[in-house]
């Protein structure tokens, strides 16, 4: 049996969820009214129910994110919500808090969110043995580490392949709550990592000013899909529950085409849902919001990944500025630009800047607000006006399910049988008197022509058979009526016969890999504590949000490294780094300061508040 491989798309709301499915998503993930890690992307249970019905028509799945940490006062409300989501047909929940495994749950499938910090094989095996069907892997993993996890457990593996990157290990960033009491683990990240900072060394010397030192590029692993599949990944996830419709549609469409090209020549893997998408545009990921792209660490650490100029979108490279003339620019490949496009460039002060195209006259691009730029400046387009307008149209991506039709006669009239690509069957009959056609040549062609018109239905006719004993006359209205009835009934049959996997979470007691949990395990309620204690954990520290020590805490651990970005890594850049930096390095934004600690053996960086005390260890290199 072939293994199903899916594209998993974000859904900010019902409209974007349906658009993602139309563009080719095999599954979508969406926020509920509460407990999702994006408080600005919540949806009513009613809207989720409508999305479920639409998705299941194409055998696509709907996952609901319930991935915040929970407080004791919220446990009953969360349990009630889960029962509601199960009752409307949701396929799975994406969770962080282990309290959910202690609740009285319906038999709904659970996935472990990347917020559960899924980067250790033993931890992931434990979760699978506890009843978690799928884990969303930490973004920092490389192909070898993913393969090791695949060899350790049978859990389904999901991995982010496009979109924004959290600089911190997911679930282990406390910058936001420490600097303003907005918890990222409660869905309210303030994105302190995207702010500009000054970098100060241990002597008090300012090395860099107003630089976005913790802002990193966006992820694009579209050319790594075969390698990821080989490593064990079967779900490719797109980040972006706060992004717009054009972003979602473009990313899904692009990945759909890339994955389909692989599946067409594979004898081991198949698409995870039904239907085929027809596009009226050419998807290109660099036309969507992006800060420049990186493969992050999937191929281990080999390139700089910072987006230090700005956390805003860079977009698509157009070309070099060739000449400044009058009140406009002569730009290489200017013919790619259109009125209303957004331009991005680095200005004469070395800062990210931009403008809108007002008008293009011959080869001169005239912006809304002209400013002089040096020749050779790279010009990007971070808003393609005509492309986005096209993507916002409903008919820019249409998904159709293949169907075979057989039109035959019976004793009392005619029968239309429809069999779709998944084997679902719908039969309608039409009771009429049979009248021989006056024009035999046009009778069959008229039937074929009108039965093939599927219009706004989700079907496309791939095969049509006419099995009649004579050339009968049939009014067009009757042919259309039996076609509409048959295909309408087939829609209902597909949704009704959709098979949702169900699983009752067992109460397990196998040992957790470690016996002591610090605050990074985010235990914030009594049920989570009970869960870990039953699995052998004897020492459990409270979640950061419940015990924060102002000014003295570690607020982030990350694989990203400021030293490496500066060319000062003693492990990988020793031959070219020159003099070592004087530590501790400090990030300063206004009155807020953070100290950086570098742990070279695991190749990680920690960020601490200004009053924290720690030992600067010998890097060993």
pLDDT at position 437, please?
85
The residue-averaged pLDDT of 387-400 equals 95
pLDDT at position 236, please?
98
The residue-averaged pLDDT of 277-297 equals 95
| Residue 291 within any structural domain of the chain | no
The residue-averaged pLDDT of 332-347 equals 95
pLDDT at position 443, please?
85
The residue-averaged pLDDT of 546-572 equals 93
Query: Of 441, 472, 496, which residue is a domain's last?
Result: 496
Residues 253 and 152 occupy one common structural domain: yes
pLDDT at position 38, please?
86
pLDDT score of 617 more than 90: no
pLDDT at position 260, please?
97
pLDDT score of 348 more than 90: no
Poorest-pLDDT segment among 36-50, 397-411, 478-492: 36-50
The residue-averaged pLDDT of 289-297 equals 96
pLDDT at position 550, please?
80
Residues 406 and 379 occupy one common structural domain: no
pLDDT at position 554, please?
94
pLDDT at position 303, please?
92
Tens digit of pLDDT for each residue in 468-495? 999 988 999 999 999 999 999 999 999 9
The residue-averaged pLDDT of 338-345 equals 96
* Structure confidence at residue 187 as a pLDDT band (50, 70, 90): confident
Residues 413 and 384 occupy one common structural domain: no
pLDDT score of 408 more than 80: yes
The residue-averaged pLDDT of 320-340 equals 95
pLDDT at position 1, please?
87
Query: Of 391, 423, 442, which residue is a domain's last?
Result: 391
List the CATH number of the domain containing 77: 3.20.20.70
The residue-averaged pLDDT of 289-310 equals 95
Residues 376 and 241 occupy one common structural domain: no
pLDDT at position 180, please?
77
State whether residue 342 is helix, strand or coil.
strand
| Residue 258 within any structural domain of the chain | yes
State whether residue 370 is helix, strand or coil.
coil
Residues 228 and 377 occupy one common structural domain: no
pLDDT score of 452 more than 80: yes
| Residue 29 within any structural domain of the chain | yes
| Residue 111 within any structural domain of the chain | yes
Residues 105 and 157 occupy one common structural domain: yes
pLDDT score of 439 more than 90: no
pLDDT at position 440, please?
73
With residue 495 as reference, give the H or E element that holds it: helix 476-496
pLDDT at position 511, please?
98
pLDDT score of 442 more than 80: no
pLDDT at position 181, please?
76
* Structure confidence at residue 247 as a pLDDT band (50, 70, 90): very high
User: Can you read off the two tokens belonging to residue 536?
Assistant: 């052998």
Residues 150 and 257 occupy one common structural domain: yes
Pairwise CA distance, residues 37 & 485, whole Å: 43
* Structure confidence at residue 40 as a pLDDT band (50, 70, 90): confident
Q: What's phi and psi for 357, nearest 5 deg?
A: -75, 120
| Residue 38 within any structural domain of the chain | yes
List the CATH number of the domain containing 324: 2.40.10.170
Poorest-pLDDT segment among 128-142, 245-259, 432-446: 432-446
Percent of residues, the chain, with pLDDT higher than 70 = 100
Residues 377 and 484 occupy one common structural domain: no
Pairwise CA distance, residues 92 & 39, whole Å: 20
Pairwise CA distance, residues 158 & 116, whole Å: 13
| Residue 508 within any structural domain of the chain | no
Residues 241 and 140 occupy one common structural domain: yes
pLDDT at position 64, please?
98
Pairwise CA distance, residues 94 & 479, whole Å: 46
pLDDT score of 256 more than 80: yes
Query: How many structural domains is the chain composed of?
Result: 3
For the chain, the average pLDDT equals 95
User: Can you read off the two tokens belonging to residue 453?
Assistant: 């018109």
Residues 12 and 157 occupy one common structural domain: yes
Domain range holding 354? 315-391
Residue with tokens 């020793």: 574
Query: Of 459, 477, 496, which residue is a domain's last?
Result: 496
Bridge partners of 319, per DSSP, are 379
* Structure confidence at residue 499 as a pLDDT band (50, 70, 90): very high
Burial 242-262 (b: 16+ CB within 10 A, else e): ebbbbbbbbbbbbbbebbeee
pLDDT at position 359, please?
96
| Residue 65 within any structural domain of the chain | yes
Predicted TM-score of the model (pTM):
0.95
The residue-averaged pLDDT of 168-172 equals 94
Tens digit of pLDDT for each residue in 100-148? 999 999 999 999 999 999 999 999 999 999 999 999 999 999 999 999 9
Residues 41 and 151 occupy one common structural domain: yes
SS3 content of the chain, % helix, strand, coil (to 5): 30, 30, 45
| Residue 226 within any structural domain of the chain | yes
DSSP for 555-593? Answer: EEEES--HHHHTT--TTTSTTT--SPPPSPEEEEETTEE
């Amino acid at each position: 049996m072939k293994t199903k491989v899916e594209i998993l798309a974000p859904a900010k709301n019902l409209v974007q969820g349906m658009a993602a499915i139309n563009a080719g998503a095999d599954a979508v993930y969406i926020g509920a009214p509460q407990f999702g890690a994006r408080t600005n992307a919540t949806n009513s249970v009613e809207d989720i129910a409508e999305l479920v019905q639409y998705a299941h028509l194409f055998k696509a799945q709907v996952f609901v994110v319930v991935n915040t940490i929970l407080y004791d006062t919220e446990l009953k409300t969360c349990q009630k919500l889960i029962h509601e989501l199960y009752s409307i047909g949701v396929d799975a929940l994406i969770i962080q808090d282990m309290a959910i495994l202690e609740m009285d749950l319906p038999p709904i499938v659970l996935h472990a969110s990347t917020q559960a910090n899924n980067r250790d094989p033993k931890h992931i095996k434990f979760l699978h043995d506890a009843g978690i069907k799928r884990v969303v892997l930490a973004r920092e993993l490389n192909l070898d580490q993913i393969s090791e996890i695949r060899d350790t457990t049978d859990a389904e593996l999901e991995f982010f392949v496009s979109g924004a990157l959290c600089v911190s290990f997911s679930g282990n960033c406390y910058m936001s709550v420490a600097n303003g009491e907005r918890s990222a683990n409660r869905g309210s990240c303030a994105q302190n990592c995207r702010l500009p900072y000054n970098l100060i060394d241990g002597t008090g010397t300012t090395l860099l000013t107003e630089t976005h030192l913790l802002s990193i590029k966006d992820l694009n692993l579209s050319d790594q899909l075969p390698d990821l599949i080989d490593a064990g990944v079967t779900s490719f996830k797109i980040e972006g529950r706060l992004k717009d419709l054009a972003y979602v549609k473009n990313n899904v469409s692009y990945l759909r085409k890339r994955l389909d090209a692989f599946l067409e020549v594979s004898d081991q893997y198949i698409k995870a849902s039904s239907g085929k998408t027809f596009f009226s545009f050419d998807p290109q990921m660099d036309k969507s919001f992006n800060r420049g792209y990186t493969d992050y660490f999937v191929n281990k650490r080999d390139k700089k990944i910072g987006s230090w100029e700005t956390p805003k979108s860079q977009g698509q490279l157009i070309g070099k500025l060739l000449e400044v003339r009058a009140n406009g620019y002569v730009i290489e490949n200017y013919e790619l630009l259109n009125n209303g496009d957004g331009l991005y460039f680095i200005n004469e002060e070395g800062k990210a800047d931009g403008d809108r195209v007002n008008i293009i006259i011959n080869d001169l691009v005239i912006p809304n607000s002209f400013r002089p730029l040096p020749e050779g400046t790279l010009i990007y387009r971070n808003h393609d006006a005509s492309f986005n307008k096209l993507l916002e149209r409903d008919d820019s991506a249409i998904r159709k399910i293949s169907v075979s039709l057989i039109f035959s006669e019976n004793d009392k009239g005619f029968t239309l049988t429809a069999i779709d690509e998944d084997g679902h069957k719908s039969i309608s009959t039409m009771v009429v008197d049979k009248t021989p056609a006056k024009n035999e040549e046009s009778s069959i062609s008229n039937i074929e022509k009108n039965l093939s018109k599927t219009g706004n239905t989700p079907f496309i006719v791939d095969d049509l058979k006419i099995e009649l004993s004579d050339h009968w006359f049939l009014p067009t209205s009757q042919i259309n009526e039996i076609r509409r009835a048959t295909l309408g009934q087939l829609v209902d049959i597909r949704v009704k016969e959709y098979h949702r996997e169900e699983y009752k979470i067992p109460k397990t007691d196998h040992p957790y890999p470690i016996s002591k949990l610090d605050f990074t395990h985010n235990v914030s309620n009594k049920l989570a504590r009970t869960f870990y204690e039953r699995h052998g954990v004897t020492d459990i520290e409270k979640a950061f949000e419940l015990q924060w020590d102002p000014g003295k805490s570690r607020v982030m651990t990350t694989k990203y490294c400021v030293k490496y970005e500066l060319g000062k890594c003693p492990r990988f850049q020793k031959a070219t780094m020159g003099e070592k930096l004087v530590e501790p390095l400090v990030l300063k934004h206004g009155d807020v300061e953070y100290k950086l600690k570098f742990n070279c053996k695991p190749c990680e960086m920690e960020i601490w508040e200004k009053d924290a005390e720690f030992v600067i260890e010998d890097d060993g290199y």
